[in-house]
Amino acid sequence: MKKDHLTRCQVETPHDVVQLVWSVISKQRPEQVFASVLDLGAGDGRFSLITDAYRHYVGIERDETKVSQAKLPAGARLIVADAFEWEGDDYELCIGNPPYIRHHGLDSKWRDMALKSIIADGGPALKKTANAFVIFLAQALMRTKDDGLVAQVVPYEWVTRPSAIELRKFIESKGWSVDVYRFDSDIFPTVLTTASITIIDKKSVSGAWRFGTISRTGTVKFTNHASGTRSKVISYADGSADCKAIRGLSPGGQEIFVLTEEERLFYSLKRNKDVRPCVTSLRSVDQNLSNLDSKTFEQIFVRSGARCWLIRSDLDDHSPELSRYLSGVQADAWSRYSTCTTRKLWWRYRPHPAPALLVASGFTFKSPKVLLNDVGAVAVGSVYGVLLDENHDAVRMMANGLRDYDFQRRLVHHSNGLKKIEVRQLNAVLADLLPR
């Protein structure tokens, strides 16, 4: 994995959380002293400090500095190695807090090696979009005995995200029981995700999945579904020709392709010729605003200095002003984005239509912000667009339906009260709201 991402992902597990994980393990396997324990991505080996729970502990860690500074008890050792070059499948327990690195930050050669290694050991064929902790979780299953136990501190999102569906199906096919306890507080303030203690018991063949919340003192409250409520998590669906949610445009570096009003004037670029309106975030928009027309666009985005003008480099013909702007962008600026480097012309992005509705992908209320897009802005980045082949009244009805829909009861919360909806989940909601 990429060195800079590896450094940033090294978040130490608080000692009280280490003790809490061992406490959950002891309830799962009462009075068991584990003969052999494996910790993949062990850091300084702090999961080895609960010495009365095991006889032998092996931690695998790539960072030599972490290993050299570690102080371990008797019966524990740390080894400098890659977790996916470590062999053996006879560990009674695999414990730990694997690195949280999004798939974008993984070295492609390392990722492909890790995925092939899991398949070769009889594990699931994970997506290349699987985040690092999902890959580590699969490796933990491969390295434990047939009746072994896996206990990992991982983001709660794995229980619903499409990028982990192969892992979930693999576990279900084996009939192993799964307990996932979502922390009710922020144990990793610098990581924007909700952490959980995930327990996968290979000894159990009940196939049961249980969900709950856990406090730092160990109090568990079980819930009906992964959403944490009585409602099931919103399913995933593809859109239809008549109604479809689309991700925001990713042209390849917003600081290059999306300009402020001041920058537009500086480069003498003309509205609706060289640039067109766009929205990269709805954070500054009032929750009660329902319509983004030219007046509100001017007030909220243009005059505030927001990046709101998408350059029209998708067109065949450029004005002299736009040509000068593009030629002035240095290679070391655009070459940092794989989106640009994989295109024949680095600036020629594939255009997106102006959607009928603009929808925020993240939100803190019952539902995300939804705007009628009367100004004809392009959805960029974290803003979704909804394409509707309907008249204005029908579009308004759909917007009202989305605002009234109780998303928060049917989503896995992201972190700090933030909820996020995936674009295919939004498509499922749109399908429910469409008139039959």
Residue 73 · residue 49 · CB < 8 Å = yes
Angle at 414 between CA 202 and CA 123, to 5 degrees: 30
What is the number of other CB atoms lying within 10 angstroms of the CB of residue 15? 10
Residue 406 · residue 153 · CB < 8 Å = no
For the entire predicted model, the pTM comes to: 0.77
Which DSSP symbol is given to 103?
G
Residue 222 · residue 211 · CB < 8 Å = yes
Q: What is the pLDDT of residue 71?
A: 92
Q: Name the strand (E) or helix (H) holding 419.
A: strand 418-420
Residue 163 · residue 192 · CB < 8 Å = no
Backbone region of residue 246 per phi and psi (left: phi > 0; alpha: psi in -120 to 50; beta: other values): beta
Does CATH place domain 3-223 in 3.30.470.20?
no
Phi, psi dihedral angles at 111 (to 5 degrees):
-60, -45
Q: What is the pLDDT of residue 191?
A: 63
* Mean pLDDT split into 10-residue runs, the chain, 436 residues: 51 92 96 96 95 96 91 95 89 95 84 94 94 96 97 93 93 97 83 86 94 94 86 90 94 96 98 97 94 97 97 95 97 93 95 96 92 97 92 90 92 75 94 84
Residue 195 · residue 166 · CB < 8 Å = no
Give the residue among 128, 71, 76 at the shortest CA–CA distance from 105: 128
Q: What is the pLDDT of residue 416?
A: 61
Q: What is the pLDDT of residue 5?
A: 46
Residues 6 or more apart in contact with residue 318 via CB below 8 angstroms: 274, 312, 326
- CATH 3.40.50.150 maps onto the chain at 3-223
Give the residue among 278, 274, 249 at the shortest CA–CA distance from 264: 274
Q: What is the pLDDT of residue 184?
A: 87
Q: What is the pLDDT of residue 326?
A: 97
